[in-house]
Amino acid sequence: MPLIIADHLGEGHILLDLQGDSKVAVLRELCQAVFSNQPGPTLEQALDAMLEREALGSTGIGQGVAIPHAKVPDLDELRIALGLSRKGVPFEANDDQPVRLLFMIAAPVNAESRHHLQVLARLARMVRTPRFEAELIGLETPSNIQRFIRDLELEMFENAPR
């Protein structure tokens, strides 16, 4: 199975210091990183899709983590962004704690649901590992974060005993 997270999380999609102080503001920052100056959907189309999904229920999974995700019209490939908020953002998470770590997943409307769900499942497992947040927060560059995620994905899903 390929590295679906590491292969879709480019360095330019890793934001080390989200400035927004609301759910909408940080989702806008993440969408801007992924959809500005790119072919396909506009930032507004992507943000609208994310907000429509959030209206169904918060994607804040607790422990300072949110995994906002949506199928975005006119998108031809999976795109993933990661944002860190040093101050935390109210996100209506299931534990009512502010979110500091956000993984945003944008999937094509016509994509196999299984692929989108596989990304969600992997991320949910990865962020729950005891070392994940502590190690990630200590990394200071997008390239180091990308390498850490690639190594963890390999360790957990590719090189794990079957």
The DSSP 8-state label assigned to residue 157 in this structure reads I
**Is 116 among the residues known to form the active site?**
no
Main-chain dihedrals φ then ψ at residue 101, nearest 5 degrees: -130, 120
Distance CA 162, CA 160 (A): 6
Mention every residue, 6+ apart, whose C-beta is less than 8 A from residue 153.
Answer: 3, 5, 6, 122, 126
Is 5 in contact with 119 (CB distance < 8 Å)? Answer: yes
Is 101 in contact with 66 (CB distance < 8 Å)? Answer: yes
Which tokens belong to 130? 């005891």
Q: Which of 8, 69, 115, 116 is catalytic?
A: 69
- Annotated catalytic residues are 69
